Amino acid sequence: MSSAPVIQYEVYRGEQDIEDVMRLIEKELSEPYHIYTYRYFLSTWPQLSLLAWKELENGKKEAVGVIVCKLDRHLRGSRLWRGYIAMLSVEPHCRGHGIAKTLVRQAIDKMVHGGASEIVLETEVTNKAALRLYENCGFIREKRLYRFYMNGNDAFRLVLVCLHHPTPTEPPPQRTFPPIRSPMIL
């Protein structure tokens, strides 16, 4: 049995990381994503995307895992913030060492500290490892989405209710609208 790799977790740093993000996701996920999809998430919510870096023997680092998330208002005009896990991928040779669980938990912490009252995601009904991971992190199956993916597979929407979400500690994401202020009626 091989020893656990030395892993460092870092927030997405910008354009220097985008090729690693795309490589990890395109290699393992069934959905094809366009560069604009990556840029939408990574430029608007860079603080909610994390990479796992494995230390190599030559002193360099290799990206072996990534999670990409967002945090915005649940519905227009709503006061509730909803986190969303858009993408999660770990290199097959690094699985089984808790990398995905650490990425998910760190992302959850960031979204909860950002004010999330719930966090949602979709995953293929056939992806037993992902379902087990998310359910072990407290997510529950909300509903089945028929033929959700381009390959024709169904998905489960999973939700994590964040009962003790604090007041947001970070400024709201760039693409949100300011709350509507109505005059006080006496």
172 occurs within a structural domain: no
Reported pTM: 0.83
139 occurs within a structural domain: yes
| Contact in structure between 171 and 44 (CB atoms under 8 Å) | no
Please report the pLDDT score of residue 56 as a whole number: 87
Q: Which residue has the higher pLDDT, 3 or 43?
A: 43
The one-letter amino acid code at 37 reads: T
Write out pLDDT tens, residues 58-88.
888 999 999 999 999 877 767 789 999 999 9
18 occurs within a structural domain: yes
Q: Which domain holds residue 147?
A: 7-161
Query: How many structural domains does the chain have?
Result: 1
CA–CA distance, 8 with 161 (Å, rounded to integer): 28
185 occurs within a structural domain: no
Q: How many Cβ atoms are within 10 Å of 158's Cβ, its own excluded? A: 22
**CA trace torsion 19, 66, 96, 54 (10° rounding):** 60
72 occurs within a structural domain: yes
167 occurs within a structural domain: no
134 occurs within a structural domain: yes
Residue 165 banded pLDDT, cuts 50, 70, 90: low
* Residue 66 CB-density burial (10 A; 0-12 exposed, 13-18 middle, 19+ buried): buried
Q: Which of these, 95, 102, 163, lies nearest to 137 by C-alpha position? A: 102
Q: Which of these, 71, 80, 79, 72, lies nearest to 49 by C-alpha position? A: 71
- What CATH code is carried by the domain that includes residue 15? 3.40.630.30
Q: Average per-residue pLDDT in the chain?
A: 86
1 occurs within a structural domain: no
